[in-house]
Amino acid sequence: RKVMSISYTRVGNYLLPNLKLKEGKQYNIGKYGLLKLRYLKEYNRGLYTELLMKDQLNTYLYELGNLVKEKVSELIISLAEKENVNEKLKNDNQMLWIGLMNNIKNRAEEIIIREYIYTNFK
């Protein structure tokens, strides 16, 4: 059994633990990671605290952000194919194509965010 030794610093009447993060890679978590971070802080404090204490929060948010980006891209491609929003339309009527692609992107993002960010998905 491994016994952990923790040192403390006195601040006024309180003893605060001297906690230090491991020297590891810190990732830029991006838009989706920030959304998930806010969700965890507000609605899933248990998972947030667990990941924070295990020094896995940044990696978790980074990997989830990448997964969400990938899923959004896949869904955009799928929806565009189903709705015949293709290169021919882009060449024939670029403004219509831009409007339809923006609509598809917004719908895909909303679906995937609801599925992966605003849930207790781990």
At 35-93, the pLDDT tens digits run 999 999 999 999 999 999 888 999 999 999 999 999 999 999 999 999 999 999 999 99
Does residue 33 contact residue 61 with C-beta atoms inside 8 Å?
yes
Whats the size of the chain, residue-wise?
122
Q: What is the CA radius of gyration of the chain?
A: 21
Does residue 18 contact residue 8 with C-beta atoms inside 8 Å?
yes
Q: How far apart are CA 103 and CA 50, in angstroms?
A: 37
Q: How far is CA 33 from the centre of its chain?
A: 3
Q: What pTM, to 2 d.p., does this model score?
A: 0.78
